[in-house]
């Protein structure tokens, strides 16, 4: 049995179905509010790259 790496919304083809999903919403938020928050990449990938369904959901207030 071979383990597959986790797949995100984009790899599963669901991003288009949900009009870009949470990543699109975050990008729009960051464009409108630059320098307010930043993504904490270390926490987002704590359990492995794209291992959760909360993409880029850990934010730091700057």
The secondary structure element, H or E, covering residue 60 is strand 59-61
What sign results for the dihedral spanned by CA atoms 35, 41, 51, 1?
positive
Residues 6 or more apart in contact with residue 14 via CB below 8 angstroms: 21
Q: Digits of tens for pLDDT over the chain (62 positions)? A: 565 555 665 666 666 776 767 778 888 889 999 999 998 888 877 777 766 666 787 888 98
Q: Residue 57 in contact with residue 41, Cβ under 8 Å?
A: no
Domain boundaries, the chain: 14-61
């Amino acid at each position: 049995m071979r383990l597959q790496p986790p797949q995100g919304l984009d790899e599963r083809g669901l991003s288009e179905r949900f009009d870009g999903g949470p990543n699109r919403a975050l990008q729009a938020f960051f464009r409108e509010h630059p320098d307010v928050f930043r993504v904490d990449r270390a926490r987002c990938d704590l359990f492995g790259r794209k291992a959760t369904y909360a993409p880029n959901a850990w934010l730091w207030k700057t």
